[in-house]
Chains A and B, each alone.
Chain A
């Protein structure tokens, strides 16, 4: 909402400081988004007094003026016929930048030098009149700033009005809030010009009435609760007077003609949208608010043919729909320059119906914006009279009969009961009864105190449709008391009864663990292209590339790998913890899981000069380790197994909850291979670690190289080793692998180190040797694998 400082000053009858105004509006709940100086482009102009004017010796139409700017006299050559000595004009001296952006320079015109320019209204973009220099009706001293002298030095404040406060969508509402804040009175600004007094609208019986020969009817009382109208005949459509034009321009509304400007003025001042019809174009003549008929069309003022439906309220005459109620009028009944007689509408439309209508039509207007937030229907007669007065003052004509007020089911604004104890319960401070009354009166409510039952009855003002319940009044009390005036002392409190969400605890542990592995966390967009029927589609996606919710994290991470390659970065280590989605049954909530994924590519360690620059690149064994770490953190109950050339994590229930992947990406030739993993995060609470006693006896180790034939796996060997009972085996470790030499083709030699320990006593060599032999026999029997050579003897641990 654009607010003019000068317009507010006219309400409050006192000068306002823009900075102070900005502070106050913020603290009242209407923060100022921006402040723009009106006519900022004219700030270089001054009032110039023409002391003398002579004809140009060499040109008939030019005159030679002596212009005084309060300090010096300047010779100015002027082409306009109307310049007179002794009068003041807008003067642009040499160096002044004009609204079009050009700079006034010293210029020779027909042999004589002109030091500056006297300007017309058109040159200053203040009007269309290019014929003559703009004569200033001012007694300001020469040299005074032009804007200041002409009272054009205004500021336009763009205030951010929350949807609950339609009353702030007009200057009067803002002035009312400020007056309450300053503790002063406010009044409507006077209308300039002469006009007869306008009688109060006369209530019609039922849903129909007449005024000036026009039938006014409400056939859709739900959509249009109140409809006021009046007829003015014999007016003259023309440009608006300066005061009206400058008020509208100050808030960024273009002046059109005196009739449209009058309705826009009332819109910006009181927040009530009105509409003027060309009376001769009205069939009947009648104006009827009724539901639209499906398929019916209206040619709206913007020249578009719109199809209406039965949920919309249309304005119709005897022949059909001529406008969309509360949204936009129609072209066929538009006020033209030739219009002499008008019908003026001032009506109240139902907010949610207007919202649906403008949404269906894709047509948001100043009127619909206000009606969908709620316009004060009890103030409609005042708005109508205000608009009629301005039209009569600026366009002449006479009112034909009393205005009519069709209001089939009159209502009153609600009465709400406020309990001071409730105020204290919510706000935490005792606010005296008198202060409560004072605050509520300041916002325009009528307060009927009922001290006997401890409540006050509050009749809320019609311009505050947001005040419906007691809590709404509590907020008003807090607002008028000033949020800054409440204590902010931290008091004792009861802690909540809930523990931390286990999934969040687990996710945090995963993030810490994976970043400790040298991976960087990323956050990517969860909207992707689809991946099969289980992807959840969006109804209104931002683009085709983002039309589905992700099923997995890896594709998003691959894009980030490519981004790094595009920047010439080769060593990439990323992980993400994020939500993925999968279609459930039709109409059902999609299934959500938290996944953990990581990608690595490039050197295993940062380059160091001791490596001779030859640190190896990451391979599948690096991702295998990261994967095991991620599974231990994210899904500790799962076990890692080999499946189809990669590793998978399998849950206790037997389902795959994670896997590693060799990634095919669009890689530049210098890039290293990319390895990835993805694991489902198990949100269950983690078991805490238990203390295990550290061994106090020495262990014995035995190393053995086993020749594994093509079908034998290290895992099978280890299983067989561990399965041998009664050996006091503590651990098995793979030391090395060897292929070739004198080994049979397809075989390899794998060296294992076995550690034995008894927690109670030191094992004797003979016992260890015996156990070791039993294990080797078992491996031979179960896996068919025999030692290449036994590196006997006890190795010290």
Chain B
């Protein structure tokens, strides 16, 4: 389906232009934007790409779908044939350089966020029912026990053999904090290699990854989910945007809403509502960082952002608009 750009940018809102969008305008392989959407990884992916014609756009979109499917077969905790589930079934596996590298990168983010981003909360996610959908508030003793057995530093990395070793069950890793972001990064990287250098991919509007903007524009328009005004938007170019909040998987019990973003220190849902938006170079980092900042809260954000050069965050509700690391 062909959509001319003019129809896309008819938003009656004040646009924030991300600094990266101000770089020199790059040539796109065409004038028209083509949109393709599909269901994957439990959400709705949408690719907008500038292409010379519909056939080319379809071939690029198919390549994008293939790559998301491939990443899903790597990281999915819902399909038994994924490499992720093989690791959890066998507990100690030699794996491919990709998964080893992905978890090494997670390792660096866990360290940089002081453990506020920690995917080893899988057993706690199960106890709250966030994976199965059978929600329940666990007892204090259950939370204490599962929090004690969790912890990223319990994974063993053997770089020489490329072996990953997990503690025994119920210890479990949750890929939710970076999987879709990694898929978005991979897709944009492949599209650039194919010559499709002007594109925006979003995974359920909670994760965006943009390459060069469409012709004549400063960036790709994206809506900031959960923002106060209905159409609060942003223009994205050469950047990723991730939003974390309790609005995704959550349930109501005991008179309050329990969101799926757990504080790894307590094993309990973090935050008191609202959302945090993060801009970073990659969707992987943006996804992980938005999760960590949601857990950390606004006051702790600058010190964490200091470990992620170029990243910025905005808390809604919040006091300070887009915030970045303090100048060194």
**Chains A and B come from one and the same complex:** no
Contacts from B to A (Cβ < 8 Å): none
- A residues with a Cβ closer than 8 A to B are none
